[in-house]
């Protein structure tokens, strides 16, 4: 069946810790994701605000924008069957205390520090993925990838 794309990110506090970067990359590979694009970038406060626009009225918005613009993020476009759902499963729950208790082997369960510093991001829907790609990989053409590249990644 068909591959799907998702957008994954290692957040700035976590890219400073080689043990966490290695751990997350091992999890990407061992769960059969293809790395379609990857780059390291510093997200500006403006870009972080656009990325997390849906949360602008939440109590955690300011600390979220501060974290996301505090250093280098590693951003990935990943491909797999059911990539969006699978990556979110592997990340575990947003809230780290919950991840540690009920999903101890998830990324957030293993490496999460706080609800904000919860290690990784993952798109939550196709719509979110498209929006997030247009912000972080503006040159990447999602429709074109599905038309011309997807076939090369099939097993």
Q: Which one of Mg ion, ligand YYY, none interacts with residue 10, CB within 5 to 8 A by kind?
A: none
Residue keyed to tokens 């729950």: 93
Do 110 and 60 meet the contact criterion of CB atoms below 8 Å apart?
no
**Active-site residue numbers?**
121
Complex with Mg ion: residue 124 or 150, whichever CB lies closer: 124
Q: Which one of Mg ion, ligand YYY, none interacts with residue 94, CB within 5 to 8 A by kind?
A: ligand YYY
Query: Any contact of residue 97 with ligand YYY (CB under 6 A)?
Result: no
Complex with ligand YYY: residue 16 or 55, whichever CB lies closer: 55
Q: What is the DSSP string of 41-107?
A: EEPPHHHHHHHTGGGTTSTTHHHHHHHHTSSEEEEEEEEETTHHHHHHHHH--SSHHHHHHH-TTSH
Window of 17-25, 33-41, 60-68, 145-153 that interacts with ligand YYY by CB under 6 A: 60-68
Window of 27-35, 69-77, 79-87, 110-118 that interacts with ligand YYY by CB under 6 A: 110-118
Instruction: Identify any residues that bridge with 56 across adjacent strands, giving them in sequence order.
Output: none
């Amino acid at each position: 069946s068909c591959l799907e794309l998702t957008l994954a990110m290692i957040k700035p506090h976590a890219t400073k810790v080689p043990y966490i970067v290695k751990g997350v990359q091992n999890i990407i590979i061992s769960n059969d994701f293809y790395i379609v694009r990857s780059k390291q970038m510093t997200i500006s406060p403006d870009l972080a605000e656009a990325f997390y626009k849906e949360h602008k009225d939440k109590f955690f918005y300011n600390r979220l924008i501060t974290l996301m613009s505090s250093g280098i993020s590693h951003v990935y476009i990943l491909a797999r069957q059911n990539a969006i759902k699978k990556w979110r499963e592997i990340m575990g729950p947003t809230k780290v205390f919950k991840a540690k208790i009920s999903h101890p082997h998830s990324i957030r369960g293993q490496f999460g520090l706080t609800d904000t510093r919860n290690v990784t991001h993952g798109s939550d829907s196709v719509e979110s993925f498209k929006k997030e790609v247009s912000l972080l990989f503006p040159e990447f053409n999602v429709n074109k990838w599905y038309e011309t590249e997807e076939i090369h990644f099939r097993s």
